[in-house]
């Protein structure tokens, strides 16, 4: 990004206002693309809604016992399912992505608040790092833990 000068083994960087904005934008796009690749390599389901001007992903999540349209006996819950839509700013991962919970199935308002708090906590902990994969994996754990808790 910035031009470097070597003087006595110390690297000096130009001030941020002298950075090449094209290279900086490319750097952030590469970081975003790396996150998409990470999701692919981990086998996480996702759909890329857009790459430019901002990366936008849709990620489906469901509990292990969720079956769409399945009939559930009296007093039983059919599991949870939802989709997360991540919209990343141009300077992601230095800025938090917008995370929307959409297409909820069997998710109460109270449980949605719990999920939103969990999302905020994870985003805060991972600011400057990859954030989408940690949010997805942690929410998957939270969904499965909650459904197990309700069964027993």
32-67 tens-digit pLDDT: 998 999 999 999 999 999 988 889 999 999 987 776
Q: Has residue 9 been placed in a domain?
A: no
Q: Is residue 6 part of a domain?
A: no
The model's pTM is: 0.78
Q: Does the residue 88 lie in any domain? A: yes
Distance CA 100, CA 70 (A): 26
CATH of residue 139's domain is: 3.10.110.10
State yes or no: pLDDT of 70 exceeds 60: no
With vertex at residue 112, the alpha carbon angle to CA 76 and CA 95, rounded to the nearest 5 degrees, is 145
Looking at the domain assignment, is residue 26 inside a domain?
yes
pLDDT tens, residue by residue, 71-111: 554 445 578 899 999 999 988 889 999 999 999 988 899 99
Residue 7, pLDDT > 90, answer no
Q: Specify if 92 maps to a domain.
A: yes
**27 occurs within a structural domain:** yes
Helix/strand/coil for 32: helix
Per residue in 118-134, pLDDT (tens digit) is 999 999 999 989 999 99
**Is 124 part of a structural domain of the chain?**
yes
Task: Please give the residue range of the domain that contains residue 137.
Answer: 16-68+78-151
| Structural domains of the chain, count | 1
Residue 4 lies in a domain: no
Asked whether residue 23 carries a pLDDT value surpassing 80, the answer given is: yes
Q: At what angle do helices 109-125 and 132-151 cross, to 10 degrees?
A: 140
Quick one: pLDDT at residue 84?
96
Residues 6+ apart with CB under 8 A from 32: 51, 55, 88, 92, 93
Angle in degrees, CA 52, 57, 60, rounded to 5: 165
Q: Are 80 and 105 in contact (CB under 8 A)?
A: yes
Q: Which pLDDT belongs to residue 9? A: 63
């Amino acid at each position: 990004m910035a031009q470097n000068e070597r003087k006595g083994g110390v690297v000096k960087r130009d001030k941020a206002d002298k950075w090449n904005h094209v290279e900086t934008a490319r750097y952030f796009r590469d970081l975003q693309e790396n996150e998409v690749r990470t999701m692919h390599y981990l086998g996480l389901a996702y759909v890329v809604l857009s790459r430019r001007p901002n990366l936008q992903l849709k990620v489906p999540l469901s509990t292990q016992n969720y079956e769409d349209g399945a009939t559930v006996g009296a007093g039983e819950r059919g599991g949870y399912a939802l989709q997360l839509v991540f919209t990343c700013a141009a300077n992601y991962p230095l800025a938090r992505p917008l995370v929307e919970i959409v297409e909820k199935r069997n998710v109460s308002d109270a449980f949605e608040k719990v999920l939103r708090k969990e999302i905020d906590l994870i985003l805060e902990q991972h600011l400057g790092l990859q954030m989408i994969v940690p949010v997805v994996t942690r929410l998957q754990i939270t969904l499965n833990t909650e459904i197990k808790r309700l069964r027993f």
